[in-house]
Structure 1
Amino acid sequence: MKVVRKIALGIILIFLLMVWSGIVRNVTLGEKTMGLLTQPIKVFSEGVSNMKKAYTYIFKAPDYYIKTKDQDTLNINKLNYNLYGLYSYRQGDAFNIELKNFKDNSLKHEWKVPIDKLSEHYKVDGNDRLYPATLMPNLDIIVSCNERPGLLRMDASSKEKWFNEDFIFHHAMNRDSLGNMWIPAVKHEYGVIVPMKVELEGHVTDYRDDLIVNVDVNTGKTLYSKSLTDVFLENNLDYLINKSPYVNDPFHLNDIQPVLESTPYFKEGDLFLSFRSPSLVIQYRPKTNKVVKVLEGPFTFQHDVDIISPNSIAILNNNSIVTKVTYDEIEFKPTNQSVNRKINHSNVLIYNFEEDSYSPVYEDVFLEHDIFTGAEGLYRIFPNGDLFFEEQGSGILWVINQYGVVLKTTLKSDIEGYHYLPNWTTTYLDDELQSLN
């Protein structure tokens, strides 16, 4: 009888737990209410989660904070012109976007994306970040939650104007000569990536097929989308897909840079596409579905391609190496010979179409200060020759030129000893801000 009673008690406890779980779920998601008990139930149910968050903040900052090294606590600021940065940062469940003048650290405007807005479309987790943000007229902004469904336009008061959830949008966004936005994307169903398949000798593997997407900035409607698998196959470039060390992520498209004006080397409407996985940049012409040029230069895992003159482009060379490839253990014979292959800096390379040559920009400064980001990152070369560089890995923002460092700063956070992880900072000069007003 005692055994039967214990089993019955266990069944009752399981049933009560199931009922309690259902009540908590409905209250948390707002599907059903329990009258006056709704708020107490919600507060009690969030107790464990809040305790965990408190522990995390006290003993270990979340991943969207970066521990500030001793050498990075002292800022350098020699800016003699206004330089505005539009950046986002994560502060617990708050997603904040700010426009700041780096010259005097004055805050010009701020926006907030409420977590309940984001959670209308998917469950926000600890690694979610907003980036990048692009400034529009009247202090509107367009922003994506990286690797999540949706592209969002908000006004100056953070009120939604439109939300495009056709794709999972990611990485950089850039406007074309018509003012519309190009951005990398992936197909999804309810927030889960819809893969393509590759088969070799009977072994089938799912892989991520990135898309190039064009969005109307006024309405949020998708104007154009194209599979990269189709682009490569239709241009007889499938061999380039096979060069990626990552079978399940062969493209990793991170930038789409549209050509705004025709020159002898590219036409208005062309797109420069940067692929991290195969360390590849291509010039693609959507009007004819033709790949005009393939660049496999002295760069690895590169990001952020910009057109800087009628005959040249610049590329952020992360100068990184593959670190996550499995292989069988190899037996080596002991040797005293060695070659130093240490990777300690990234750089920005200029490719000249006329001369078919690459040249680095301010290489000595990158080397002297060990400026390096293994992934992500962006840059911009200003009309006066200064170069802005977001060192994503360490969260440092730089402005450098031939004379050295003009600006070195971090985004100070609310946790002592840490700074915020920057998220693809977009920069503006005075005349650019004025043109948006």
Structure 2
Amino acid sequence: MIRKFFIFYLILLLILIFTSLYGSLLKHHYSGGKKHPNLQKFAVNLAQIPNTAEDIINNILKGKNLDPNKPGILIKHKDKIRFKQFIPNKRNALLVLPRYDHSLNRSVIDLVDLNNFEIIHTYSHDINAMHNQITNIDEFEEVFKDDVPIRFEYRHPLLLEDGSIVSDSDYSVEFKIGFCSNLIWINDDEKFHHSKMLDHNGDIWVAGQMYPQSKYVLEYKAYDFWDDSIIKIDLNGKILFNKSVTELMIENNLIRDGNIFENGEDFRFDPIHLNDIEPALEDSKYWKKGDVFLSLRHQSSIIHYRPSDNKVINYIKGPFSQQHDVDIISDKEISIFNNNNSIVKNEYSEILIYNFETKKFNKLFNEVLMEENFKTFTAGLSHIFEDGALMVEEQNHGRILLINNKGEKEWEFINKDKNGDIGFISWSRVIENDSMIKKIKSIIKEKKC
């Protein structure tokens, strides 16, 4: 009997020790720690098992086809209708909506008129034909299995005034398609990913992955290291500027030379994870036209960088964790989509406003987001309308919310296909410019595809 009690309490003690060490490891990971990267990866994957298992079980119960090559069917909002308007309000704006449609087994881009939420045009180009134009096979070998049509995603598509689209599939080639979804060009010089933003000269800032890697990465022989870079391309897809984020951080003394790497083979392969580049279009007291703001997810930081001088002007850390989507919203403020993957009080994602004048953070419509159980562990995006309304994208669960400037839910969209299956949304974009809206609607009216 004594032996049984001894074994019982020994097991209990070991469970308590494991739980304590596991919690400490997660805390270390989400605070940006770099020790024991393999253990960190194991701990995070273990923490996500319940959600993954729930998705699988629910899809089995619904009789869904669990094709391992196809993105999963999302279930958090399965009991809601596709679109519901709570407060009637016409908006002269367009929504560029990249989404996965399970009934089509592929991604599409819808142009949605926010006056009535009607789809007025859809893009859907020949992905295999595009991949057949890739000549940089060494760098893009995995694209032919990871980005086949059934898995391909349009990431943050940039709509131009002639109705064409510039996009990528996240760590893929950059490409441009015409209004009728005809392929115009591809750029396979580097891998491109995440956001795409026009600057004041009409060029495009897009995140990239440098290969061959930059000098510091090569010096440390960190060959598996994801060397994220900020890339500027023109409208023809030509690279005009390409700078490693690791390199600019080392050169501006934000990290000690080599400190971003771990010793031996266990260095953390993706310690930067650049997910947004926001260019300054005008001068202000706090930045200059041509500056860019960089969102570094795995550093939980925002960098205000001046490419013309290779200078970091501001390095912003704050009450946010693994954030996405930094936007300039006034001449002294930026908004930050806080995924909020901290170790405590992490149930909801948030929108933070940082004021350069006061150097303080404020949360925008936080009570509404909490009431809506709004949380996306990865990705996510926000847009603040000219009238102060807030649109947020819950990418992991295929939902978009619009909250008006009074803090009231105006409408909700769930990316359900004709069969009621929910697919992901991969960074939508709002167009409020009257002139551009008129041009796009004119092209649609006269389209001959």
Whether TM exceeds 0.5 here: the answer is yes
Question: Does the alignment pair 1:80 with 2:89?
Answer: yes
5 Å matches for 1:25-424? Answer: 58-60=64-66, 62-63=70-71, 65-67=73-75, 69-73=77-81, 75-77=83-85, 78-82=87-91, 83-91=93-101, 94-120=106-132, 121=134, 122-123=143-144, 124-125=147-148, 127-148=151-172, 150-188=173-211, 196=217, 206-217=224-235, 219-239=236-256, 242=259, 247-321=268-342, 341-401=344-404, 402-416=406-420, 418-424=421-427
Cα distance in 2 for partners of 1:74, 1:180 equals 36
How far apart in 2 are the matches of 1:130 and 1:428?
Answer: 17
Q: Alpha carbons of 1:240 and 1:105: their partners in 2 closer, same or farther (altered >3 Å)? A: farther
Q: 2:214 touches 2:227 (CA, 8 Å); kept in 1?
A: no
**CA separation of 1:57 and 1:226: change in aligned 2, threshold 3 A:** farther
Task: Check conservation: 1:79, 1:103, Cα contact below 8 A.
Answer: no
For residues 390-415 of structure 1, what are the alpha-carbon distances to aligned partners after superposition, in whole Å with 9 as ceiling and x for unaligned? 11111110001333211111122143
Shift of 1:147: 1.3
- Cα distance in 2 between the residues matched to 1:298 and 1:226: 28
Deviation at 1:205, TM superposition (A): 7.1
Query: 1:237: how far off?
Result: 1.4
User: How many residue pairs get matched?
Assistant: 356
**Which structure has more strand as a fraction of its residues?**
1
What is the percentage of aligned positions where both structures have the same residue? Answer: 28
More contact order relative to length (CA 8 Å, sep ≥ 6) = 2
Q: Please, which moves more after superposition, 268-277 or 156-165?
A: 156-165
Distance 1:396 1:347, change over 3 A: same
Determine if contact 2:90/2:114 at 8 Å carries over to the other structure: no
- Conservation of the 8 A alpha-carbon contact between 2:155 and 2:169: yes
The verdict on how the C-alpha distance between 1:239 and 1:370 changes in structure 2, with shifts beyond 3 A counting, is farther
Q: Any idea what the Cα deviations from partners look like across 1:167-208, whole Å, max 9, x if unmatched?
A: 11100111100011000001348xx99993585xxx967311
**Aligned with 2:156: secondary structure?**
strand
SS of aligned partner of 2:337: strand
Aligned counterparts of 1:133 and 1:383: Cα–Cα separation in 2: 21
Gap change, CA 1:95 and 1:241, over 3 Å in 2:
farther
**Matched letter for residue 366 of structure 1:** L
Using a 3 Å threshold, how does the CA distance of structure 1 residues 193 and 291 change in structure 2: closer, same or farther? closer
Structure 2 unaligned regions, length at least 5: 1-61, 135-142, 443-449
TM-score, reference length from structure 2: 0.73
Superposition CA RMSD, Å = 2.9
Runs (5+) with no aligned partner, structure 1: 1-55, 323-340
Matched position secondary structure for 1:237: coil
> How does the TM-score come out when normalised to structure 1?
0.75
Shift of 1:67: 2.8
Cα pair distance change 1:68/1:195, threshold 3 Å: farther
Preserved contact between residue 76 and residue 405 of structure 1 (Cα < 8 Å): no
Provide the rounded CA distance (Å) in 2 between the counterparts of 1:108 and 1:400: 23
For the residue of structure 2 that corresponds to 1:230, the secondary structure is helix
| CA positional deviation for 1:64 | 5.1
CA distance in 2, matches of 1:266, 1:420: 39
Cα distance, 1:110 vs structure 2? 1.3
Residue 96 of structure 2 aligns with an amino acid whose one-letter code is L
Does the C-alpha gap of structure 1 residues 304 and 127 become closer, same or farther in structure 2, counting only changes over 3 Å? same
3-state SS, counterpart of residue 298 of structure 1: coil
d(CA) in 2 for partners of 1:215, 1:350: 29
Which has the higher Rg, Structure 1 or Structure 2?
1
- Which SS does the other structure have where 1:287 is aligned? coil
One-letter identity of the residue aligned with 2:170: N
AA at the equivalent of 2:127: I
Spell out, residue by residue over 1:206-233, the C-alpha distance to the aligned partner (whole angstroms, 9 max, x if none).
Answer: 311101000001x211111011121011
